[in-house]
Amino acid sequence: MTKDSSCSELLLDNQLCFALHSTSLMMTKTYKPLLKALNLTYPQYLAMLVLWEEDGITVSHISKRLLTDPGSLSPLLKRLEADGLLTRKRSTDDERVVELHLTDKGRELQDQAQTVPGCIINSSGQSWPDLIELKRQLLKLRENLKASI
């Protein structure tokens, strides 16, 4: 099968979406052994990052921070609760609202996770300034895409 050069914009290797997708897959694979030592999945790690920043937040708030649907977080949060890392409690002001609070075990896990970012930076083979610039560009792209939908 031959390639039609007039359709080069449809080649997989020319797609920004595939470059982002495949890089995301590699990033997740790089995190996997690091997070296995913490007994966390990548989505659980992201949730814990938010909770380490802002303990006592609502499910709605963590959903907004992670750019995900609150319903899809329920199984993940139940697992973190079953592992003793957080508690879920109905708000006394509005019982439709669920608040999330770290346990002592959840707070202690933050200390164990301190080495993860450095390991990721080392695995990237990139300089710190280059990674900061890449992140800036990705956030700008995300905001532009968000504004277009």
| Residues in the chain where the model's pLDDT stays below 70 | 1-6
**What predicted TM-score, i.e. pTM, was given to this entire model?**
0.89
Closest by Cα among 38, 37, 24, 41 to 75: 41
Domain ranges of the chain: 18-148
The dotted CATH code for 18-148 is 1.10.10.10
Tokens 């006394």 belong to residue: 92
Tell me, what's the pLDDT at 141?
97
Q: Give the relative orientation of helices 42-53 and 104-112 as an angle to the nearest 10 degrees.
A: 110
Task: Check residue 93 and give its pLDDT.
Answer: 86
Query: Residue 59: exposed, middle, or buried by beta-carbon count in 10 A (0-12, 13-18, 19+)?
Result: middle
Predicted confidence at residue 1, as pLDDT, reads 55
Residue with tokens 């659980």: 44
**pLDDT at residue 4, rounded to an integer:** 58
